């Protein structure tokens, strides 16, 4: 059985002065665009406030996959769903009410994603599978692009694949995904790939997206 592969480029390392243009550069070959929202509290970095993010989301030619690295995800995540994101992912470490907030995201019309930092066990969240449309396994410490893929996360990816079983839940990985690492992440069970610097530091970002997809599709299970 081969899984459907999705590539969701992150614009964290793109040109922030022309994000709409940067999204258009990869639109033909990408499934969604990954928008990293950081508040300088949950992670030591800041990207967008809600008004700026809303403008990007409204202008984007691709459906938006919002990755919220913010405190108080219970309040903020449903707002991102309401303004039209296709997918909204919150961190378990920033959420008081995981089931309630996952339900609120779906209720507002978006896919509900649940992310864990490298130090967080995924098995504690197996019981919310029915409320989740995507698990996000961080393969770097969240906060910055351009870090190295943590290969000790491969076991967690495999563990998550087992938890998912037959359910149609996407399994996303984020951090250090490149032509050098995408095959091992696929082999471990990932099917949805964030790639930031690999794509936007490439001479031809669209070509890099296609190369990543081809490499992931080439992995035999
Ligand atoms: C990091 C962000 C990532 C980041 C990935 O906290 O969540 O989405 O953009 O960047 P690369 O692909 O460069 O590791
Ligand atoms: Zn991200």
Mean pLDDT of all residues belonging to the chain: 97
What's the CATH number where 136 sits? 3.20.20.70
Tens digit of each residue's pLDDT (9 = 90 or more) over 54-64: 999 999 999 99
Count other Cβ atoms within 10 Å, centred on residue 141: 14
Q: Indicate the top mutation candidate among 144, 180, 182, 208 to test ligand 1's pocket, ranked by most ligand atoms within 8 A of CB.
A: 144
What's the CA angle centered on 64, arms 53 and 106, to 5 degrees? 100
* 10 within some domain: yes
* 154 within some domain: yes
Total tally of structural domains belonging to the chain: 1
**Whether the predicted pLDDT of 103 surpasses 60:** yes
Q: Which ligand is nearest to the CA of 145?
A: 1
Over residues 95-108, the mean pLDDT reads 98
Catalytic residue among 39, 133, 174, 191: 174
Atom of ligand 1 nearest to the CA of 43: 6
Tens digit of each residue's pLDDT (9 = 90 or more) over 30-48: 999 999 999 999 999 999 9
* 1 within some domain: no
* 221 within some domain: no
Q: Is 67 exposed, middle or buried (0-12, 13-18, 19+ CB in 10 A)?
A: buried
* 14 within some domain: yes
d(C-alpha 160, C-alpha 137), whole Å: 8
Q: What is the pLDDT of residue 171?
A: 98
Over residues 7-24, the mean pLDDT reads 95
Question: What's the domain range around 67?
Answer: 6-216
pTM of the model: 0.98
């Amino acid at each position: 059985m081969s899984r459907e592969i999705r590539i969701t480029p992150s614009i964290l390392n793109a040109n922030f002065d022309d994000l709409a243009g940067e999204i258009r550069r990869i639109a033909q070959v990408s499934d969604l665009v990954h928008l990293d929202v950081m508040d300088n509290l949950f992670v030591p970095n800041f990207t967008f406030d809600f008004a700026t993010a809303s403008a990007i989301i409204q202008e984007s030619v691709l459906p938006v996959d919002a990755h919220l690295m913010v405190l108080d995800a219970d309040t903020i995540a449903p707002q991102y769903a309401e303004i039209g994101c296709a997918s909204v992912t919150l961190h378990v470490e920033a959420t008081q009410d995981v089931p309630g907030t996952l339900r609120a995201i779906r209720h507002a019309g978006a896919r509900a994603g649940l992310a864990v930092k490298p130090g967080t066990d995924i098995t504690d969240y197996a019981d919310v599978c029915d409320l989740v449309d995507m698990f996000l396994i961080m393969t770097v410490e969240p906060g910055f692009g351009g870090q190295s893929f943590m290969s000790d996360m491969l076991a967690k990816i495999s563990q998550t694949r087992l938890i998912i079983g037959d359910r149609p839940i996407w399994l996303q990985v984020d951090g250090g995904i490149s032509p050098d690492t995408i095959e091992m992440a696929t082999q471990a069970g990932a099917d949805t790939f964030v790639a930031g610097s690999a794509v936007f530091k490439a001479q031809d970002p669209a070509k890099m997206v296609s190369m990543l997809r081809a490499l992931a599709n080439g992995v035999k299970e």
